[in-house]
Structure 1
């Protein structure tokens, strides 16, 4: 597998994969992404700013997506917790999804491994990587922790009223 920056030609596939992710969460009874987030406007902005990435299988099929945003990420302004490092030199990962047709093949783990390795190697200015997920999304929480991230706190009502998210951070060692 490999990661690649998305282009405007990838818009429809990204929207499709995020919708599939929304459906997967709903089927599991997880209230994450069940509102207007993420939406096509987010996807368009992610592509235009160069934040959107694709996950490709070895035969070059797009199987997943994610976004890497530069700091500051104001979603974290009201963190109920403490960062591992007080820095503005961080990136935030959002909107991670692997299409259900490709679940269980290690793409999500590979995404995290390749993303972290790339940032550590090519973005030596970056001190940490931050990510959050819904408090009920146990699978994503497991993946994040398995990938070396540490839980640092919670967000309350940032994405939707009455929603709590668990926040994690990874120190790059840079």
Structure 2
């Protein structure tokens, strides 16, 4: 497997993966991603900003995530408290391909992101998810992310987590 930046030529493949994730959230009864976001323009924006990363094998992309090495303005206000106030990486828009089901691919994606963050001397990862995204909540718990409080993302409350890597 390879963890790398996504390419503009992969927008359609990434969009297919995100559509699968959007449908999964809907089937699970989650309200997350049921409002036209994310979409292909979101992916193009992620690629243009150098935020788009994939985990791929010889058959194609297994997982996608936006990995952002700059402060997220939505995280400046939290009902609660972040563990640290230092530099951090933000992870958004995590989705796994249908063929990756049962492989722990999202967990592996986060592990690669943690390694990337440490290689850039960043020792904090912050992430948010919807209160009803049970799949992501399980992953975050398993990987040792700590609940910090609530943030507002696109006019909707999200639960926020942080993991210290040192």
Q: TM-score, normalised by structure 1?
A: 0.89
- Specify which of 92, 95, 98 is matched with residue 93 of structure 2: 95
1:148 Cα deviation (Å)?
1.9
Stretches (4+) displaced over 2 A: none
Structure 1: tracts of 5 or more residues without a match? none
Structure 2: tracts of 5 or more residues without a match? none
CA RMSD of aligned residues (A): 1.4
The reply on whether 1:136 has 2:132 as its aligned counterpart is yes
The reply on whether 1:7 has 2:4 as its aligned counterpart is no
Find the aligned partners of 2:3 and 2:36 in 1 and give their Cα distance: 26
Find the aligned partners of 2:114 and 2:59 in 1 and give their Cα distance: 21
1:23 Cα deviation (Å)?
0.7
Map 1:47-66 onto structure 2 (within 5 A).
47-57=47-57, 59-66=58-65
Which secondary structure state, in structure 1, belongs to the residue aligned with residue 55 of structure 2? strand
**How many residues are matched?**
166
- Specify which of 148, 151, 157 is matched with residue 164 of structure 1: 157
8 Å CA contact retained: 1:24, 1:100: no
